[in-house]
Amino acid sequence: MSHVSVRQLLKNFDGKPPTVAVDHLDLEIEDGEFLVLLGPSGCGKTTTLRCLAGLEQPVGGTISLGDQVVFDADRGLNLTPDKRFIGMVFQSYALWPHMSVRKNIAYPLKSRKMTQELRGGRVEETAALVDCERLLDRLPAELSGGQQQRVALARGLVARPDLVLFDEPLSNLDARLRDQVRAELHDLHQRNPFTAVFVTHDQSEALALGTRMAIMNAGRIVQIGTPREVFEEPVDEYVAGFTGMSNRLSCEYVDGRWYALGTELIGAEPRAAAGTSEFVLRLRPEKVRLIGDASGLRAGEAGIAVNVDDVEFGGLHLDVMLSSTAPDSRRRELHARVSTYDRSRAPRTVERGDRM
Ligand code: ADP
Ligand code: MG
């Protein structure tokens, strides 16, 4: 386990047009921390991991693992991957097909030149940690996807590296298995902390796994904090959109009344100063409450009249697409997600064509 320090990391690719994949990125990871890097496809997550692993030669900056500087552009220092004590788990399990599970898991120990005696015990122990000790003598082709991913996990952890890198390791698993392996990974880290950087484009994965999460955009980290901090207080519109605040309501205050989606906001407090002002409100679908009419408004709430355009049944929730009843014809949409159990959040029935 080790503290990791990345300063002003810069990596670009030649090409037409040239790309700045990692743009002066700063990142400090504490010993034993499970840091999740979250961002859309193409924002530079994989390139950042590859620079940490030594698989990519950055153009600028420094990378330190514990007390060791592994990359320093100014000093022309770039340790090869085998000189960095790092474990890796990727989206494609990349197990050696001709080797047994035992040999696959033991592989990183061989390159670390551990004694046979120590190696044997370590493989069994790590296999038990990820619940695949019964699979040791099988070949990868004889395993299910979830089992293969567990083996890949064991291989990443077996040498107790300073740092474990995960590049979207769960995205090839089907939904149920993904939840299961995610929970196991979380539990494993709680029981045996190790320093990790886990890359994903999946918000729920980031929230569930990260001791902290970093949101990336265009090669930079735009916000870093605990999942709760980032979820509750996104620093800008980009992070807000990325953490599920998918509704974007332009609001304005004109002559003593508030308007949103082009119709009057009923029940909103008047402002002290008159005049016109505008702002954009970001709102989670889960925060929208559906009521039959304005008499259902509670203290502190404001409402707008909407039409129900579509209702999708999602099991535990309903996704309701609403549009504004504004007199001009531009459709302005709002997404509400209401619990199918908590009736305080929606009337008994919600159907396409309803007006609320
Ligand atoms: P992510 O993992 O977040 O999807 P990547 O790190 O793979 O993003 O890519 C970041 C940017 O760098 C993208 O614009 C991608 O096209 C570009 N890129 C990545 N690898 C290469 C490469 N080997 N050659 C050229 N461009 C690359
Ligand atoms: Mg990637």
Question: What pLDDT was estimated at residue 242?
Answer: 84
Question: What pLDDT was estimated at residue 129?
Answer: 83
- Quick check: CB of 17 below 6 Å from ligand 1? no
C-beta separation of 251 from 281 below 8 A: yes
Which residues crowd ion ligand 2, with CB under 5 Å? 46
Separation of CA 178 and ligand 2 centre (Å): 18
- Quick check: CB of 14 below 6 Å from ligand 1? no
Model confidence over 220-248: pLDDT tens digits?
999 999 999 999 899 998 999 888 888 88
Q: Over range 106-131, report the average pLDDT.
A: 79
User: Looking at the DSSP assignment, which residues form a beta bridge with residue 87?
Assistant: 164
C-beta separation of 48 from 22 below 8 A: yes
**What's the predicted TM-score (pTM) here?**
0.84
For ligand 1, what atom is nearest to the CA of residue 168?
A: 2
Q: Amino acid identity of 333?
A: E
Q: Please tell me the least confidently modeled range out of 156-160, 177-181, 269-273.
A: 269-273
pLDDT at 161 over 70: yes
Separation of CA 47 and ligand 1 centre (Å): 6
- Quick check: CB of 46 below 6 Å from ligand 1? yes
- Band of residue 276 on the pLDDT scale cut at 50, 70, 90: low
Confirm whether the ipTM is greater than 0.85. Answer: yes
> What stretches of the chain show up as alpha helix (H) in DSSP?
45-53, 101-111, 116-129, 145-157, 175-191, 203-209, 227-232, 237-242
Regarding beta strands 86-90 and 77-78, do their DSSP bridges make them parallel or antiparallel, or are they unpaired? Answer: unpaired
Separation of CA 79 and ligand 1 centre (Å): 22
For ligand 1, what atom is nearest to the CA of residue 56?
A: 23
- Quick check: CB of 19 below 6 Å from ligand 1? yes
Separation of CA 21 and ligand 2 centre (Å): 11
Residue with CA closest to ligand 1 atom 14:
42
Q: Amino acid identity of 330?
A: R
**If you write DSSP's letter for every residue of 87-113 in order, what string do you get?**
EEEESS----TTS-HHHHHHHHHHHTT
Question: What pLDDT was estimated at residue 23?
Answer: 97
Residue with CA closest to ligand 1 atom 6:
44
Residue with CA closest to ligand 1 atom 10:
44
For ligand 1, what atom is nearest to the CA of residue 40?
A: 3
Model confidence over 78-100: pLDDT tens digits?
999 989 999 999 877 789 999 99
- Quick check: CB of 42 below 6 Å from ligand 1? yes
User: Looking at the DSSP assignment, which residues form a beta bridge with residue 249?
Assistant: 281
Separation of CA 62 and ligand 1 centre (Å): 20
Residue with CA closest to ligand 1 atom 24:
13
Q: Report the alpha-carbon angle 94-98-103, nearest 5.
A: 75
Regarding beta strands 196-200 and 34-38, do their DSSP bridges make them parallel or antiparallel, or are they unpaired? Answer: parallel
Question: What pLDDT was estimated at residue 329?
Answer: 59
> 56 Cβ partners below 8 Å, 6+ apart?
11, 47, 50
- Quick check: CB of 21 below 6 Å from ligand 1? yes
Residue with CA closest to ligand 1 atom 7:
46
- Quick check: CB of 44 below 6 Å from ligand 1? yes
